[in-house]
Structure 1
Amino acid sequence: MKSKQLGYVLMALIVVGIAGLVIRVIARTGPEDMLAGLVQVSREASDKIIITSDEFEAELVRLGDENTGYAWFINDEPVFVPKLEQFWLAVSDLYSAQLIAENPSSQTRMGVADGEGVQVSFFQDRRSLQEKFIVGTWKPEIRLCYVRRAGHDEVYGVPCPLGNIFDPIPDGWKNPVVVAIPPQEIASVEFTYLDERFLLIMNPDEEWVVVGEDGEVIPAHPLAVNSVFGALQVLVSSGFAEEEVADELNFAVPDAMIRVVTKEGSSAPTTRLRFLIRDELSLYLAVPTSATTFIVDQAAAGGLLLRKDAFLTN
């Protein structure tokens, strides 16, 4: 690593260390300054969460049972697990939240006055309100969220490594990962465009080749193969299409379709990716395993949407 890059890494580590130190110093205040008297809210005790702001509302619902296991959903789509884990970690910190202010006049400054901030409500049996909090301003320099329990004046601080943990935007809870297929599990990739179709497959000598519509077999350029596999290893969307927009899209006749066949016993199933051009910078993308219509950047999909000429070795 170059010295300049190393310097940036060290600076980042120092900043993270300082932030952690500040949070630890705050955590050393006495128990009389902690948020007390809360009803137990957790992934086990709660089965619905509503997060609202002036513009948005996200409703997370827990489905399942003890036999099949539980999972959280938003608009019938699974909640993105890494984000959910961050949320529950922040919720657990509520029980040791440190007192920041008691004077109601400070609530507006911290963004937790009535009608301000983000309201986070926890429910049991989908209808019984357990607790309601108002989450205000996020302080990135100390990674802290201001929180006030509804009906109370005291404002507390909760460690928040990110500013969108208590996210009222529904799309923020959806899984942005379209596909994640390890390269070693790919058996073949079929490319279909409006004017061209070909197959990328491994021959008996374990060499990747391209088979054209006329049956011609040519060696595949390693850089092109790596480009495709790299894109399929983790393809992340930049957003999601609005429902009314998605309903008007015709994926039966896509501008491009990629069929990925995985090997027997693979951790990822065989799948199809159907693309429609959205604009000069992005595309719509649909996969059979999700009802969501993804939006992907042209730059992110460019390594996957290669033409046959890109695989030529000469």
Structure 2
Amino acid sequence: MTESINSRCGYVAVVGRPNVGKSTLINHVLGQKLAITSRKPQTTRHNMLGIKTEGAVQAIYIDTPGLHAGGQTALNRYMNRSALTALRDIDVCVFVVDRMRWTEEDEMVYERIKDLRCPLIVAVNKSDRLEDKLDMLEHLQWLQDKLPQAEIVPISALHQHNLDTLEQLIGERLPENEHFYPEDQITDRSSRFLAAELVREKIMRQLGAELPYQMTVEIEEFKHEGRILHIHALILVEREGQKKILIGDKGERIKLIGQEARKDMETLFDNKVMLNLWVKVKKGWSDDERALRSLGYQD
């Protein structure tokens, strides 16, 4: 290792309720898209590391599924377990909340993190949208009273407002350590995993409320042939009607999903991509522990 003992390195769990902006925040901090995003809650299903090395500081961000009430299916229970697992042995916790709102699910996250022994930072997202600064100050004071041990930072993940302040606070609170990962490594996840997530993102952005939660993506082939990267992705749904919705009239919807996913893949992998998508019905996969494990949903 070339780092001096003055170098800092550690794990930063980014937690919060579903759809509060955790993945958007991590993507902007990293300066590139790793975590998928959509306006639908529970877009993130797995813990994923995003690694940022800047000078002597290496911050290893853990993007977690949103903690949510209820655990009706095996998939819901898996996501809650994944989010809670990320809180073990972390060095800094960033709790993302939404400007003036405090929901039942925010309270649920608060109950999980209030007794953590590591430094806690509350990132108040979308704070740039507030017109009434007095209301904002009152809400920040309310948060400070509720979490007296925390540092409160108003940010906008989408517009990158105040992210430098947030990163500085995180860096100062990481322990002195040699770096755990090479300087140029940006994630712990495989290219196959990232490809599957990009396809899933495009589906979530295209489709209505129900289908995205009963759908998953599996990469069956990922290989280079000359200058072209060939990727074959299998999309699993639970019912025949969902398959028809996903394919769309004359295959138009699946074609659009493929086009959008391929563009992002070419940017991420810096390669020309040939992407083939198939849709298959696998009844009950989201509530079958064995099926989930075979699809990569493992603690």
Q: Same fold (TM over 0.5)?
A: no
Q: Higher strand fraction: Structure 1 or Structure 2?
A: 1
Q: Give the TM-score band, short-chain normalised.
A: under 0.3
Q: When the two structures are superposed, what TM-score results if normalisation uses the length of structure 2?
A: 0.23
What's the TM-score once normalised by structure 1's chain length? 0.23
